[in-house]
Structure 1
């Protein structure tokens, strides 16, 4: 009789549940491939999938060779090039190991036997922003000529000047194939370090520039505006010294560091729920991508103060838009500020841009008819509701 009573109590409840599911059935996730915006090959360093520019590998092993140079007018005073190698390594390699969840090994061989004297003075290279590709090529080929030894083909050639070479002011990446003057192939790309690394950025300058060799764009503005104009300090490809420098989940997905099952795709109108875990730790769902059209998407991810982002001054759900039609330096990724006018934190308005459970918990992207709401936090994970029309 007790069993029959229990059945009698459960049956109407089951009927109610069935009726509710019939009215509001759970929405299936869109095929994740629908959110893989295809790169526009006519847009330099397009932020979409499949961009082709003989990019260095982003999974497995990225091989590099490092040489050290000085100049007659700005000669080395370091006791050994080992001092400069140790400035970059192993810190930069460890950074990639952590950022990629172990998917990428940066393997750098370095000739630390001596500094190789460049054939021209440091000042004569006219090393300023706007350096032409031909000027850059000349510098690289001068360094290879000064080195004068065989270099086995590698993915990236690193050219490191003495700290005394203040005339080599910044650290650009040469994006074309690297060859000696006789046409001998050396590498897919070359990073030529400058004084900015020693003065301001530390080993992270290697991670920023090596990001370019993997075909990541710059997220800071090229027009002379504030460095954090588009993204604040939320990604190393924007502000190298930002408080939360880990690569965006969007780029980690593009680089192969996140698998498809770690990304939810919303490509149709409706209401969906998603549980996201912090970007800084391996495992779990890392992003929701809301497809607006074939060239634009909205991304939600969780930022914490763990791992590479230990200096972050704000945590929670970070929202940003991605466009495959906007080139490097013009804002292909733009962070959406949950607290506009707050003044931000650690020197940038966007550094406190996150949605939180206890603060600003929702944001509507009006033009796109998308609303993102933070529902709750369970441990380090967040539940968000995406409503799109």
Structure 2
């Protein structure tokens, strides 16, 4: 990330907090869920980019991941091929694992309930006719969606579902697992009186990629892709932005639990669980692990109009039980960068070192968290974070020291398919 993205305090922001003579920890309301006001200093604004990481509002085009949410799974086969698996077997590839993941991630605040159809529905054309691929031609994709809805509608009741999975026969010729995507419709369609704006087209093999459906479900609730997609023909690494941290980076990651920033955005953190650090000086904080309920989950330092430095604790438990390392994780957030363009960058607390080369998706960031006694100073010296200890109740004690500097703005982008 450009060094300017880590300079600490915007001129306008500095003026807004000039009345503070010492650093304070300001507890924020819970983003979109609590309707926090514009005066909350660390609320990054939502911007026009696709899946903006802003937390000052909620895009009403997206369903909220709160309470009991109903999902529908429809199974599609193709002429010339008889499915080798039953719908129940394919459904079991994804559930109840996907539901458990999100229940754990949300501390039980979001419960995804699946209704899976019990038979294969035959599409009008072979899968090869649709030219299914990761970078699917829009006309071919639209033809597939049109045929899928037309095939299912006579026998499937779509009413009352916020999440719709269209699952293709994994063994049919022409089915490409790289094409598993959330498709966002510019104009919603009405099926059985249910307005449908986005659907997950599932083309996974058997068994599927780990956490793949949980990743795609995250898009249904406005979470961005955190990985980097190299240009065609490039051998560049996909996971340089966040490595194993947060399944919106890689569904194969060792620590797939969502960042506390995402839990804040989705409304799963209470009013006392996010601290905003403003002013000049030093403060002390206890961070409860991201994976467990209760306690302070997130510390934020506003670094620009659309940027922030975030801090949270990560441990080997829950969704992160296979994590390579534990400690206090730091990352930069940008609400002006679109999905897939690096809206979050994990800060490497141990530059020049790697860990878990056999299992990590990106070993240079596998040991990114700071351990007890370790510090990180943001380039330019404006913010220093030191991990003082780990308490018997599992919380991590952190010291944050702020010095006055200034920051700059950065460009933005836009996108439509996840």
What TM-score comes out, normalization by structure 1 length?
A: 0.86
Q: For residue 123 of structure 1, what is the aligned residue in structure 2?
A: 128
Which whole-Å CA distance do the structure 1 matches of 2:167 and 2:286 have between them?
44
Q: CA deviation at 1:195?
A: 2.5
Instruction: Determine if contact 1:153/1:187 at 8 Å carries over to the other structure.
Output: no
Which structure dedicates a bigger proportion of its chain to helix? 1
Q: For residue 77 of structure 2, what is the aligned residue in structure 1?
A: 70
Match of 2:108 among 102, 109, 126: 102
Which whole-Å CA distance do the structure 2 matches of 1:218 and 1:166 have between them?
28
- Deviation track 1:151-178 (CA, whole Å, cap 9, x = no partner) reads 2142121111122035231310012255
Instruction: Determine if contact 2:87/2:120 at 8 Å carries over to the other structure.
Output: yes
Query: 1:387 and 2:401 equivalent?
Result: yes
Query: 1:36 and 2:46 equivalent?
Result: no
Match of 2:389 among 344, 362, 376: 376
Q: Cα gap change, 1:275/1:373 in structure 2, threshold over 3 Å: closer, same or farther? A: same
Q: For residue 312 of structure 1, what is the aligned residue in structure 2?
A: 323
Instruction: Determine if contact 1:53/1:215 at 8 Å carries over to the other structure.
Output: no
Which whole-Å CA distance do the structure 2 matches of 1:130 and 1:367 have between them?
40
Match of 1:146 among 147, 151, 171: 151
Q: For residue 322 of structure 1, what is the aligned residue in structure 2?
A: 333
Instruction: Determine if contact 2:24/2:278 at 8 Å carries over to the other structure.
Output: no
Instruction: Determine if contact 2:24/2:279 at 8 Å carries over to the other structure.
Output: no
Q: CA deviation at 1:86?
A: 1.5
Q: CA deviation at 1:229?
A: 0.8
Q: For residue 250 of structure 2, what is the aligned residue in structure 1?
A: 239
- Deviation track 1:234-284 (CA, whole Å, cap 9, x = no partner) reads 110001011000000000000011123101111322211110011111011
Q: CA deviation at 1:365?
A: 0.9
Q: CA deviation at 1:74?
A: 4.0
Instruction: Determine if contact 1:154/1:186 at 8 Å carries over to the other structure.
Output: no
Q: CA deviation at 1:293?
A: 2.0
**Aligned-pair Cα RMSD in Å:** 2.1
Larger Rg, first or second structure (1 or 2): 1
Q: What aligned pairs does 1:110-259 form with structure 2 within 5 A after superposition?
A: 110-112=116-118, 114-147=119-152, 148-149=154-155, 150-165=157-172, 167-169=174-176, 170=178, 171-176=180-185, 178-179=188-189, 185-195=194-204, 198=206, 200-202=208-210, 204-224=211-231, 225-259=236-270
- Deviation track 1:315-339 (CA, whole Å, cap 9, x = no partner) reads 1000000001111111100000011
Unpaired runs of 5+ in structure 2? 1-20, 29-39, 404-418
Higher normalized contact order (CA 8 Å, seq sep 6+, divided by chain length) = 2
Query: 1:350 and 2:370 equivalent?
Result: no
Instruction: Determine if contact 1:281/1:307 at 8 Å carries over to the other structure.
Output: yes
Q: CA deviation at 1:340?
A: 1.6
What TM-score comes out, normalization by structure 2 length?
A: 0.81
Q: Cα gap change, 1:45/1:187 in structure 2, threshold over 3 Å: closer, same or farther? A: same
